[in-house]
Amino acid sequence: MGRQTDRLHDRLAIAPNNVAVYARALHALTEGGVPFLVGGAWGMAELAGVWRHTKDLDLFVRPEQVEHVLGTLAEAGFRTEVLSPVWLGKAWYDDLFIDIIFSSGNGIATVDDRWFHYALPGTVLEVPVHFCPAEETIWSKAWIMERERFDGADVAHLLRATGPRMDWHRLLERFAEHWRVLYGHLVLFGYIYPSERRRIPAWVMLELTQRLQRELGAEPPLDRHCLGPLLSNQQYKPDLERWGYTVPDEASEGTPRGTHASRRGR
């Protein structure tokens, strides 16, 4: 893994100037003893072998570490800002930026100790780092279904690459009452990769199918709830503004609506 990981910036077509900026950030955080994980395009390359050009670096941190991370980067010459109190900070160096991510846009897939416990060691720009685990990466990416960005292909590629060694019990626990979101991605995976369906254990599909069968046999909820905004902040506005639906408070743990900051330009 190490030799391949050392050349991530080559395969991701990172410009030399970008490399210098990202290395500055990684060295500053490492030398400052600030815990972080590498994800995004860099993580997809490492976990799933998906190589794509990227113009940023995604670092995942615990929510309580955000100010420490941003402060450390500010001391290293970056301009920093919290763009969303729910999930996103940024650090700029001239026109380059680094995303500091501490949850998903809906506030559900929050970075906690287990992200770090199961993180995968590697190297980026000759700096020893840890990558986000596949399970938590799927949990985070499964929610991204905006009109301009859908991470379903990333989820499918992660399942193809890591399915046989996935901690499925942990993944199911992560999604908890939102298991239908995971189920949807798993059903799509079987459609996308007919020859790879066994990468998802049969017991997982049976467990989720049984949950669906139990729901089908029960009376539907009376409350006019719409959970669409947990998947896309923009596309379900008519449901909330015109058609009388509401997002149940317990679905997002008090996450304020309208906090999905744009990440265009990646």
pLDDT digits (tens, 9 = 90+) for 131-168: 999 999 999 999 999 999 999 999 999 999 999 999 99
Q: Give the start-to-end residue ranges of the domains of the chain.
A: 1-132, 137-218, 223-249
What per-residue confidence (pLDDT) applies to 248?
A: 86
* 94-99-100-105 Cα dihedral, nearest 10 degrees: 140
pLDDT digits (tens, 9 = 90+) for 192-222: 999 999 999 999 999 999 999 999 989 888 8
The 3-state DSSP class for residue 110 equals coil
What per-residue confidence (pLDDT) applies to 99?
A: 97
In CATH terms, the fold of domain 1-132 is Beta Polymerase; domain 2 (3.30.460)
pTM given for the model: 0.90
Q: Measured between alpha carbons, how far is 195 from 202 in angstroms, rounded to an integer?
A: 14
The answer to whether residue 5 scores a pLDDT higher than 60 is no
Q: Which positions ≥6 away from 42 have C-beta within 8 Å?
A: 8, 12, 54, 57, 58, 124, 131
